[in-house]
A = this chain, B = another copy of it.
Amino acid sequence: MSVTIKDVARKAGVAPSTVSRVIHGNPKISEETQERVRQAMGVLGYHPNAAARSLARGRSYTLGLMIPNSEDDLFVKPFFIMAMRGLSIEAQRRGYNIMFSFSSGEEEEVSLLKRFVRTNVVDGVILMTSRRDDKCMAFLEEKNCPYVVIGRPESRFLHALWVDNDNVRAMYNLVAYFLKAGRRRIAFLGGPADFSVTRDRLRGYRDALKAHGVERDDSLVFLAPGFQERDGYALAGKILSGAMADAIAAADDFLALGMASYMEERGTILPIAGFNNTMKGSVIRPRLTSVDIQPELLGTRAAELLIGHLEGEDSLPPYSIVETILMERESTDPDFLSGNS
């Protein structure tokens, strides 16, 4: 087997407990002894056994990451992997490991989660999406197990930590950007209304109009049944014919891209912008202006929040808002759109 704390103790001529104290920086150990123990550790190549440590401390220093089933194109979007990257890097920085788990449905997800928590494999849990009536959150609340959600959880989950963008403000800023450019009839193109993302962005849209003294006109608001390109494409005709819009604020790049390809077919030119700063939006012509929601930073903040909580850093707020970044590109550039570029 490998080198144990007893081997180090023997080599340094001390008790195992002394070695343990040196490792943890206990100040009661004399400089001289510390040095001897460190020497011994170095020579023997000692590395503490994780399982033994977990058992003795009653903590695993491991977080569990639940990745939802792959509905739709969730995996095509780099959101998940970028968030995982942020999570992983921050967790490593603070000495935590992350265990992940894919599932093929909510039921399986819950049962995997139960295994993680009940067998004490994890100290805390990260949920990648916030669903309505979430069984995972219900279980975690019941078990009183610390967890963090990406997205805003229902208010009945009292102990939920969460990170999210301020979607109201993000859309407010986008609309304000159009208004500043002299647009007044800005259409809103969102996804299904039962997503909180949709509702929040719609509110930001309305707030911005109101704040700038533009009268509300609900004939400019369009909600698609999904977030796919075809959904944007399907609504495009209606938007162009009826609404007399002079700009399009879409709640998702794919919606915007569907709309844009329709416009291109008809030779219509209108400034348009989306959300999520997708790869496709950034390579297509005209390159699509988009609001970057910073998925990696969402992951970083989620790890910060959860670990902070586990380490007993109270006084931490239970949530964290990640700012969005407006990536200005050709699709909202007047010069480009008028061919003067």
Chain A, residues 69-107, CB within 8 Å of chain B (1/0): the string is 010010110101110110011001000011111101000
Question: A76 contacts B75, CB within 8 Å?
Answer: no
Asked if A52 is an interface residue, CB under 8 A from chain B, the answer is yes
Q: Is A276 an interface residue (CB 8 A)?
A: no
Interface size class of A (residues with CB under 8 A): 35 or more
Contact of A100 among B88, B121, B279 (CB under 8 A): B88
* 0/1 interface trace, chain A 54-69, chain B, CB 8 Å (1 if under): 1100101010000100
Q: Which residues of B contact A54 (CB under 8 A)?
A: 50-51, 54
Q: Interface centre among A81, A92, A104, by most B CB within 10 Å?
A: A81
| Residue ID in chain B nearest A48 by CB atoms | B119
Majority SS of interface residues in chain A? mixed
Contact among B50, B67, B73, B118 for A119, CB-based, below 8 A: B50
A250 to B340, CA, bound (A): 37
Q: Taking the complex as formed, is A120 at the interface, i.e. its CB lies under 8 A from any CB of chain B?
A: yes
Q: Is the CB of B51 within 8 A of A60?
A: yes
| Nearest residue, chain B, Cβ from A61 | B121
Q: Does A141 touch B at the CB level, under 8 Å?
A: no
- Tell me if A2 counts as interface (CB < 8 A to partner B): yes
Q: Is the CB of A99 within 8 A of B102?
A: no
Query: Which residues from chain B contact A279 at a C-beta distance below 8 Å?
Result: 73, 76
User: Given A52-B55, A81-B81: A47 and B99 within 8 A (CB)?
Assistant: no
Q: B-contacting residues of A (Cβ < 8 Å)?
A: 1-2, 45, 47-52, 54-55, 58, 60, 62, 67, 70, 73, 75-76, 78, 80-82, 84-85, 88-89, 92, 97-102, 104, 112, 115, 118-121, 229, 279-280, 283
